[in-house]
Every structure is written in C-alpha cells, then in structure tokens.
Structure 1
C-alpha cells in the first residue's frame, strides 16, 4: 500500500527539486522565512491561508492538500475554531463539500460548535452556496436539543427556501415539513415565512392552505403594525428587516385571500378582500418605498375589481379592463384573465389578441429568485398557453392551437403540474382528429406520460 507523504515532506521535496532555499520560496509566496521554516520543519501550525499560498507557489490545484490538511492539522490537533472556520469557508468556495462534511462531523461531537456552524450556514446561504448551506442547516437542526428554539426554526425555514424549485412534489413536501416550525420563528421573520408558504401553496392551487397562511400573515402583520405605531412605542422599528414595508403584509394577505376566494368561485367574498386593500387611508408611512407599494396596491385593487366582475360574468367591463391593462408594462396576467373569460363565457376576444400580438409573440417565461416569481409565474406561463390553445382550437385555428398546446404541455411536464398536464391531455383528446400526424405523434408521447402523473392531482376545483 502506497504511503502518502505529509504536506511537510512534499514541500521539502519540492524545494530540493527546484533548488530553492526557504528564503527564496518565502519571497515567491509572500511569506516570511520564519513562517516557511516553521512549516517545513514541522515546528509551526499552519493556517489555511498559508497552505493556499504554499499550494499556489508549487503550481498545484488550490485544494490539492486539503484532505491531508484535515488529517494533519485538524484531526490530529485540538479543535481550534479560529483555524477551522477559514478552512470551512475555503472548502465551500472551492466546492469541496466532502472536506466540509468531514470536518463538520468532528465539530458536532462538541455542543459548543453548532451555533458557530449555524453562523457559517447563514453567511454562505447569503452568498449563494445553497448546497453547502443546506448541509450545514440540516446538521445544525439535527444537533439542536431544544425543539422550540428559534435557531432550529430558522434552519427549517432556510431548508424550505433552498428546496423549493420547479418540482411541485418537492415543493409540497418542503412546505409540509416546514409549516410546523413557522410559529417558532421571530415574529418579524414569520411574516416573510408565511408569505413564502402561501405563495408555494398558491402555485399548487391548494386554496384552503393559501387562505390559512395568508390570513395568519395578515393577523400577525396587523399586530406588529399596531406595536410599531402604538402611541407608547411610536417609532419602534422591528429588530429584523423585512423584505417589504410592514403594511404590505396586511395588504398582501387580503390580496391572497381574494385570490383564493376567486379561484374557488366565491367572488362576493373575494370582492370584500379587494375592498380592504383598496382602502389604504390607515397606512402611516410616507417614505418613497411605501408610496410605491401603496400605488401598486391601489392599481391592483382597481384591476382586480375588474377581474372579479368579469369572472362573475359581467362582460360589460371588458373594454375598460383592456384599456387599463394597455397602460401596464406587464400584461400577461391580464391577458390570461381575458382568455379565461373568453373560454368560460364564449366571448370573441380576437380584437384584443390582435392588439397585443407583438407582446404575445415575445412572451417568455419570467425568472427570478423571488419566491412568488419562482412559484406562481411559471404556472401562469403554462396556463396562458393552455388557455390560448383552447381558445384557438375552439376557433378552428388548429395549427396555432396545437403549437400553443405543445408549449403548455411541455412546460407543465417540466414543472410536474399534474392537473395542467391532465387538462392538456383532455384538450388534445377533444381535438385529436384535427392534428397533423407529426403534431399528433408529439402530443401522443406527452399523453402517455399523463397516467403516471394522475395520482398527484391536488385540487380539482382550481380554475384552469
């Protein structure tokens, strides 16, 4: 069995091979001769910064010595956080999660280290190292003895945020696992967590859950808003920074509740919630960000009142709705509603679609790191093309209709949207006779996958 030389031995061999003195090598790597001498002779402990300098001076990959560094400078020495912490960050930066895991397992034997590892997790999560952060959060959570601790709840919240993506099965499981921990968070952080949970359930069309978490967010938001603006505590700001002004969690609660009631067909209850966020006379903030959000909610209230009336069957407001949306930069949520009304009430909207044809042709799926954009807008993209397919096929525009259907169906499969896939399949079956052979073959391949997904249809009442 081949014996791996120590770091010290390998550096000595390199110096001999290159005929370098320790002074010369020290100048090359910007370390003083005493430091180099101490490392080479084994009389001095080595930091990861010094190791990286030596490795670079030897023209080796930056993580070349990392496994040996663990063996020689961490496992065989008393644990020293000041030395270990920089090494963990370097392992994460270089993608050496195997080395990270090896050191973390050592640290978890000591109850003093989980808080420090939690801090590392928070830092690298903010820097975008999601895989490493997830491992650290999981290990810290496992080591947490106090099941009602805020640190445990934050770990579970971060794991939820990291897991949520485009697979609805994964998203549902992530939401189920995190939900029991949400009320253990700091009350301010709870607001963002409840918002994120509601948005995930909104993307799953689970409207009762949307209402549950949105209502909880609204109640908590009102309590916090009262505390901040109470005469005895006026000017007291939350200890933690929210992603948006505090009052918006109250208004967003009503917006989501209205959305849930509309989706379930209870347009009267939905209108009550719309009226609530249309009245912002109670909002005390007047800074520029608050003014921006107040304007947004007033706009949304106006346009969602139109939508509410349209979905109730009042087609008379359609021209006003179209003129209003023409002034908006983003119009696809509105066009989606136009198509919904057209399909539901057999309304001809060709003139509207022609007016916005350039925007429709240029429509691309949006992308963002925001939970709402990640979860809700990709489904909106699918639903838009599904409804466009339905409208076009009903009009006898088979070539374009099937093109839209393929677009919607392919994306629904990527997102694992079982109900949308099922609806696409039913629409295909209804118009199959009008598909050219090439199109029929493509759609048939997608059809054959639907049976495997049917067991995950969550909410037959959702409006698609």
Structure 2
C-alpha cells in the first residue's frame, strides 16, 4: 500500500532542518504551542486558518498544503463540515478548483451534505466566485437529479446563469437544459428566470421561444401583481424584493419582447400595438422612485420604437423625427443606441435611403458600438453584442451598395471574424454571400484576409455552407 505523506511529518522535517523548537515556531507563526503539539503527537487536525499561518511561517505559497490537508483530514477521515467549509472558501479565493472537486467528490455520496454545500454555493455566487460556485451547484444538482426540489431548480438556474457566454451553441444548450426546471422555482424567482431565458433566446434569434417565454412571464407576473395588491402581506412584500426589477416591469417587458417578435416577422402594425400597450402604464399602482424610473424608460422606449416601426414599415416621413429622438438620447446606454441605429440602417437598406449625413452625425456613437465591453447583465451580455454585429453587417451592406468599398469591406470582414469567435453561422454565411457579390471591388489584401477567414471556418468545422 502506498504511504500517504502527512503535513505534520513535513512540518517536523522543517523544524529539524531549521534547528527550531516548537515554542519558537509557535511564537513566530502565532499558532499556540499546545495546538502544534497535539497536531504532531495526537494527530489532531489544525484548522484551515491555523494551517494558513503555519504555511506563511514556513515561507511557502498560500494553499501549499491544501491537497495534503484534503487527503489527511477529509478523505481519510469522516467528513467534517467545520473543516470543509472554510477550506472551500479559501480554495475559491485562491482559484484552486481541483481541490474543490476533490473535496466535493469525497463527501457527495451522502445527500445530507447537499443543503450546506448549496448554501456555500449561494454565498460564493453572491461574492462573484462563479467558477467555484459552479462546481458546488453541479454536485448538488447531480446528487438531487431524481428529486423534484426547489433547491435542484435553483442549482440549475445558477448553472445556466454562470455558463451563458459568447459561444451561442453553448448558450442554446444551457438554455435548453435549464428551461424544464423553471416551473420548479419559487413563483417569484420564475419571473427573473423567464426574463433571462427570453434574453438568451433573443440573442439566438429563436423568436418562437422568445414569444413563449414572454407570454409565460406576462401571465405569471400579472397573477403575482394582483396577489401583491390584494394581500399586501409583509411576507409577499419581502418575497417581491428578490426580483431584480419592480414587479410591473415583467408585464411591460413581455410586451416589449412580443413587439420585437412581431418586428422580426415584418408585422409592424402588431408591433405598434404592443408598443402602445407598454407605453400606457396608468395601471401601475406604485409611486416610488424606482417605479417612476422604469415607467420613464418604457415610455422613452415606446416613443423611439413607434418611430422605428413606422419607419420600418416604409413611412419615411418620420425619419427626421427618429433622428432627432436618437440625437436627444445619444448620451444613453450602449444597448439603447445600438438598437436605434440598427433600425435606422435596416430602413436605409430596405428602402434605399441616403443616410450619409446621419452616419456622420453619429460617428462617435458608431465608434463606441464597435468597442463593446463584457457585462454581468444577461441582456447586455447577450443581446447587445449580437445587435452590434448585426449593425456592422448592415453598415457594410449600406457602404458597399453606396460604392464606399473601403468602409464596406472593413465592417464586413470584422463581422466575418466575429462570427468565428461567437460561432454564429447565420452571420458567417451572410458575410460570404455579400463579399462574393462585391468581390470584384476588393483588392488582393482584402481577398487574402477573406479567404483566410473562410478557410479557418472550414478548418474548425464550425460552419457548413
């Protein structure tokens, strides 16, 4: 049988090599001499905090003994959460994910540890330690996969939230795996879950799913809003505080999502009806500042989208009003300016409208759009990058059709490259078709870059066309 080394043995070797007594080390490290003596002679485990002090005193890297600690005091002994819990937090701080996997693997054959591991995962998630939290959520979910518990549903929700990223194929997988668990969540938590799912499906342009999630969200939010104002109980009030938005927002945001679905179907008249619905918020009972803020946002969005849907339906007479609206709100967030300018370019390409002067007017905003930053917010992280890429594609199409090939090919190759990064097949194929249409106007350098990008797509087998 292979002998497992112990931390205490390495510690005793250190004392001998440095000709140091236990008392001297105790004074230097701040760990009581009696504790060190019991550790060596009686093999009583030290705490994680004491181990950290010992490690520092021995001038070793933080977490140096954690693997041995797990072996000596967790795997080889009966699991003790008093030792495991602080070590999990420290491993999360030090990004020692393999150590977390070993600990969790050693104890998760017993479901009685699930509740405490879930609580630790929630704490790590709140602290932003998502990689470590993910390991715990996955372990708890695996242990409870045959249970119909709310805790299992929350684990799946957190896993979904953490895993959503830039790769759209992985996002689709994450959304598909999580969706069946939504109904098992607390009724209040379901609203944010449906909102997040809708935003992921929106970024994937899976409009049937967006419509489905939006309608479910509206129905559930309407019920909860009615209950809230009928009961007015403290428990109901405290429950509603868990939401990331005021409760009425989930009703109005559902209308906004449905208007977007109608827009993609080319049904601008129905999109306008949904827009008028979320513009009229006289039914909202709350009067606090947060509510007023959100009401202002929806009315602002409704004004712009009313112009946009009229413009997209061919009513060019609203173009100047829409441009004035965009200019007046040009200091708003990136996710708003992207949508507004994207609508403008859709209309310009569809109805052959000259918008050169307008593009010059918003040159600063356009430059900003092409330099997006990551965000923790599901909408900003998922929808804005997709819309920014679509906006650049529409810019490329406009400039190429206008004979401005320098800018046209610049934006087109940028979108082609981005399509590889985010595994977006639709963009990739559209870019190829547009480039081939105008290839005769591209110089050798641009053709070479284009061919390299296409070759890379084929090599990675990301796209089939």
Provide the TM-score with structure 2 as the length reference: 0.93
- Aligned pair 1:341/2:342, yes or no? no
In 2, the alpha carbon distance for the partners of 1:7 and 1:233 equals 56
Q: Structure 1 residue 323: deviation in Å? A: 0.3
Q: Structure 1 residue 79: deviation in Å? A: 2.2
Q: Structure 1 residue 198: deviation in Å? A: 0.4
Return closer, same or farther for 1:453/1:278 CA change in 2, 3 Å cut-off. Answer: same
Return closer, same or farther for 1:107/1:367 CA change in 2, 3 Å cut-off. Answer: same
In 2, the alpha carbon distance for the partners of 1:194 and 1:455 equals 32
- Aligned pair 1:393/2:394, yes or no? no
> Where does 1:233-252 land on structure 2 (aligned, <5 Å)?
233=233, 236-239=236-239, 241-252=242-253
In 2, the alpha carbon distance for the partners of 1:358 and 1:78 equals 63
> Where does 1:359-438 land on structure 2 (aligned, <5 Å)?
359-363=365-369, 364-438=371-445
In structure 2, the partner of 1:460 is none
In structure 1, the partner of 2:302 is 301
In 1, the alpha carbon distance for the partners of 2:209 and 2:120 equals 33
Q: Structure 1 residue 295: deviation in Å? A: 0.4
3-state secondary structure, aligned to 1:113: helix
- Structure 1 residues 383-433: Cα deviation after superposition (integer angstroms, max 9, x where no partner): 111111110011101111111111222112211111111111111010000
In 2, the alpha carbon distance for the partners of 1:454 and 1:241 equals 41
Asked if the contact 1:388/1:404 (under 8 Å) is kept, the reply is yes
Return closer, same or farther for 1:75/1:231 CA change in 2, 3 Å cut-off. Answer: closer
Gaps spanning 5+ residues in structure 2: where? none
3-state secondary structure, aligned to 1:109: coil
Q: Structure 1 residue 75: deviation in Å? A: 2.6
- Aligned pair 1:130/2:130, yes or no? yes
Return closer, same or farther for 1:2/1:215 CA change in 2, 3 Å cut-off. Answer: closer
Q: Structure 1 residue 157: deviation in Å? A: 0.8
Structure with the larger RCO, 1 or 2 (CA within 8 Å, 6+ apart): 1
Moved more, 28-37 or 236-245: 236-245
Moved more, 29-38 or 375-384: 29-38
Count the aligned residue pairs: 456
Moved more, 439-448 or 364-373: 439-448
Asked if the contact 1:191/1:217 (under 8 Å) is kept, the reply is yes
- Structure 1 residues 230-271: Cα deviation after superposition (integer angstroms, max 9, x where no partner): 166589415251111111111111000100111111112211
> Where does 1:168-207 land on structure 2 (aligned, <5 Å)?
168-207=168-207
- Structure 1 residues 287-326: Cα deviation after superposition (integer angstroms, max 9, x where no partner): 1111111100000011001111111111100100000110
3-state secondary structure, aligned to 2:111: coil
In structure 2, the partner of 1:278 is 279
In structure 2, the partner of 1:462 is none
> Where does 1:27-426 land on structure 2 (aligned, <5 Å)?
27-144=27-144, 146-230=146-230, 233=233, 236-239=236-239, 241-328=242-329, 329-330=331-332, 331-363=337-369, 364-426=371-433
In 1, the alpha carbon distance for the partners of 2:99 and 2:226 equals 49
